[in-house]
Structure 1
């Protein structure tokens, strides 16, 4: 950058900028071609000239992400010099500037976490959600930096964001020493931070030395903060010696596929391009079948008896009609009002297939929604649906007081329906619990990160 342009940038003279560009149209292009350069944007950031910076960023957007000889971008410098107007202006033009890594691979988001500027930090997270995943050269996340610098307000913002976007697994990522944010909070005796973190993290993650947060606490000896120990104990934190060994990636891949894994495989859940469409399509079909079979169960072919009828036995052993409707013929089966008219064989045949379709459709819904937000609420709702279906069948199933065989068969069939309903609900729950158990034990190394089983 020549002396004239440097002076123009320092003064923030926009008219002079355009005169200089008119004299030399390629002046900004030459700066752009330099891998490391002190651009007019850097000068404007130092001098607090936000309007000038916006003009340059508009003329040559690529200069906004350039690093100078100090390893700082214009956005870094604007933050360092408290030029809030320039900060907001630059991220409005290009929100990805929040992810530009300067010296030490520190992003503007990391810097805000360090200085505890919670207001601008919140704006950055909403402007560029993916910036929360960036790590420094020491593999530190913004959460780690906030904890190390005791930036409580910034930490609360970060935790709130991670909770809302369902990325709390980032809290279990490890730095270059294998420490998570919880290890750092415990080692620096920050009970307030520990209390915040234990609600969202795996309290028994080990660092590179094989130590959990509880081990780190005991290692401090006379420096121990007893409040930290109490918080860890309430969160059921354990020492490494009291833990079963974590499942490695090799162990996880060597295991047989669980029900959830089989679902993900055949529904293409791991393929982010089509997993939402496939899951939605399966859910729609399953819900249609559930609706149809549930209605068929409540409104079977032939309808219901509208009266009571029970043959009476005379003294000579013959039967005479004893019912509330004398117009009925003597060939009527014994029945009560509200019971199904369908003949026994057709009855068992119809409800066997209808119930099978109903339970399998409900089972499909339970499997597909496993792992989704609020899935447990949906599990409870489907449980009530199954119970109501069973209760309706019990109330409308015909009875035959003079036939012990029919009574036994009817009772056995009702019990079978109840067991089938229970199995429909229990099997996905067992699969979910087993899958979560494996998910909590497995350790997948992704660079420095300790993750979990790929999200469903």
Structure 2
């Protein structure tokens, strides 16, 4: 009977299946229990026998969750072969099988993607969208699409689940999908990624290589011209590099000049990247320390204002600030400036400890520094008011004259610094490639 069941599943003969089930209603369970491979539902799903699959699912829907010796479900088999109707039938009884992994760590969506079955991919993503985010050996499904040159599936996935972070995910070697597409000279894929996604065109892998470096190291062919033009438009390459590649790819002198230029540029970029990263870390650490100190001082000044507080109710309510009654105008300015300094530094601390990815950009570090300047200016005003209310009357006028001069110099200096750094910030932002600008706006 088991041999007859096997032959029926290969042929998709539902009549034989029904007759066998009449003789032994448990035959499907027995075969599943005794065998690890060649189970009827797996065979029928792989060969596309829709009626046979539906007959089994009607009688034994639980068999859709049974694995073979390779940990493959019937859904794995149907997806790998692109049988859309069978995929729909299997999903209708157990949609959670979308995320089941075989022995190689691939779920049914991975198998459908590498085979280029777009309709199957649509059904799987509709049933379980998060299945597309499962990684296989530190590779996303987008990496698999590029490796297997499945551009249509790649487009579909980018349109449905392709947010900025997902598109720019790196594999174990730090390669993005743009690295892989350039390395394999997939011109259409490179064009699609540069024009219709937020791929980071200057991203480096673990060896510090950008997509341009990958192109320079590979063998020369006529596809290089088209790829270099795409990268030039995206701001990765410059006109000098483009003109070198426009020459005969077999010209050894041009090749040598280009390779030497790329080698020196790569070393320079790696050094600059490390220096920038160290500089940013030092700046962030410094900002954290200074912000913590200023926040502590602002809190202390707010709870214990100059001249102290009334100790009893003889003149005013006990615990209220003396400065409210002796210097009401000063107190309002004191409270506002102290609060601005306190809130500004708390904002800096909160942003720095949040670990948000956009804080790694220089642009946002300059913004934090501007907030710090606002905080220090506010605390300077707080200090000036505190000393003013504590200075005796005879010396007050002389002190005010001196302090007013210092404050004017300070305000002028701060204005120049803020203006200068604002201009520099705008220049840095303008020099960024369009993809980086899009990424910054996306994070914002």
**TM-score, normalising length from structure 2?**
0.54
Contact conserved, 1:41 with 1:56, CA < 8 A, in 2?
A: no
Once residues 105 and 186 of structure 1 are traced to their aligned partners in structure 2, the CA distance between those partners, rounded to angstroms, is 26
Work out whether residues 8 and 16 of structure 1, in 8 Å CA contact, stay in contact via their aligned partners in 2.
no
Q: What is the alpha-carbon distance in structure 2 between the residues aligned to residue 81 and residue 213 of structure 1?
A: 34
Residues 191 and 230, structure 2, Cα contact 8 Å, conserved in 1: yes
Q: Is 1:181 the counterpart of 2:177 in the alignment?
A: yes
Match of 2:266 in 1: 243
Gaps of 5+ in 1: 265-285, 294-339, 434-456
- Is 1:193–2:185 an aligned residue pair? no
Instruction: Give the conservation status (yes or no) of the 8 Å contact 2:201–2:234.
Output: no
How far apart are the structure 1 equivalents of 2:287 and 2:2? 63
Counterpart residue number, 2:136: 135
TM-score normalised over the length of structure 1: 0.53
Match of 1:62 among 54, 61, 65: 65
Contact 2:8 2:14 in 1 (8 A): yes
| Residues 9-408 of structure 1 aligned to structure 2 (within 5 Å) | 9=9, 10-12=12-14, 16=18, 19=21, 23=24, 25=26, 27-28=28-29, 31-32=32-33, 34-46=35-47, 47-49=49-51, 50-55=53-58, 58-63=61-66, 65-66=67-68, 73-92=73-92, 93-101=94-102, 107-125=107-125, 127-135=128-136, 141-161=140-160, 163-164=162-163, 166-170=165-169, 172-174=170-172, 181-198=177-194, 199-201=198-200, 203=202, 205-206=204-205, 212-218=210-216, 219-237=218-236, 239-244=262-267, 342-343=327-328, 346=331, 350-351=335-336, 353-368=338-353, 371=356, 405-406=399-400
Q: Deviations over 1:164-203 (max 9, x none)?
A: 2732343x3157xx86533432244333322333541454
Find the residue that maps to 1:166 and give its secondary structure: helix
Q: List runs of 5+ in structure 2 lacking aligned partners.
A: 238-261, 289-294, 303-324, 389-395, 429-444
- Higher helix fraction (1 or 2): 2
Asked if the contact 1:45/1:78 (under 8 Å) is kept, the reply is yes
Of the two structures, which has the highest relative contact order with CA contacts closer than 8 Å and spacing of 6 or more? 1
Deviation at 1:228, TM superposition (A): 0.5
Assess if the C-alpha contact under 8 Å between 2:78 and 2:87 holds in 1.
Answer: yes
Q: CA deviation at 1:84?
A: 1.5
Do 1:99 and 1:109's aligned partners in 2 also have CA atoms closer than 8 Å?
no
Deviations 1:120-165 (A, max 9, x none): 32443451524433337xx764323422444322112333456427
SS at match of 2:102: coil
Listed one character per residue, the Cα deviations across residues 97-130 of structure 1 (whole Å, up to 9, x for unaligned) are 444336x665432333234333432443451524
Give the distance between the partners of 2:144 and 2:234, measured in 1 at CA: 23
